[in-house]
Amino acid sequence: MAQDQEPRQPRAGRERIGRAAYELFSRRGVQKVGVDTVIAHAGTAKMTLYRNFPSKEDLILDFLRRREQLWTEDWLRAETGRRAATARERLLAVFDLFGEWFSRDDFEGCSFLNTLVEIDDADSPARRAAIAHLATIRAFLASVAAEAGVADSEDFAHQWHLLMKGAIMAASEGDAHAAARARELGELLLLRHGV
């Protein structure tokens, strides 16, 4: 039995630390949260953290990977697909989801954008990862736009992503109608692209 538990303990420690960092970084940002705070929140030893995450940068990279899975894949892609029958409707459903997200008490903005603001070192692996995750969102938008019949789906995806990022920032400022306003602009953008 002890042999069965041995391999699970490191994974369990890594998962516990990763979840704690995710919760803290999502709420407070990657720069404002120190390793000691993550250790305390995870209820683990410093050695356990550094065995699983040799640096804070590794912890931030894990946070961004988790965020992409939970936010981009499990929420944005899955929910827009579930709520809409057509590609056009899936694009607009983004802003319906945003309206729900923005009104939640735990709305914390976009972790990828927040990381870009907090880490200005262009060579930082965390900054590059945040940029890559944003590109993943644009690639998703481009594929849905192409399915909807948009001729230049790449350009459209950049335009749509600007609406999304603008809505997130407006909601962060306290605009209760940011998602509805962005959806209205999205309707105009779709018309401009003949969809």
pTM for this predicted structure: 0.89
Q: Are 89 and 97 a contacting pair, CB within 8 Å?
A: no
Q: What percent of the chain clears pLDDT 90, i.e. is strictly above it?
A: 93
Which residue spans of the chain are classified as CATH 1.10.357.10?
A: 63-192
Q: 33-73: per-residue pLDDT in tens?
A: 999 999 999 999 999 999 999 999 999 999 999 999 999 99
Mean pLDDT of the chain: 94
CATH fold of 63-192 reads Tetracycline Repressor; domain 2 (1.10.357)
Q: 159-170: per-residue pLDDT in tens?
A: 999 999 999 999
Please give the class, per CATH, of domain 1-54.
Answer: mainly alpha
Q: Are 38 and 17 a contacting pair, CB within 8 Å?
A: yes
d(Cα 56, Cα 35) in Å, to the nearest integer? Answer: 7
User: In angstroms, how far apart are the furthest CA atoms of the chain?
Assistant: 64
Assign 2 a pLDDT band (cuts: 50, 70, 90): very low
The b-or-e profile of 14-37 (16+ CB within 10 A means b, else e) is bebbbebbbbbbbeebbeebebee
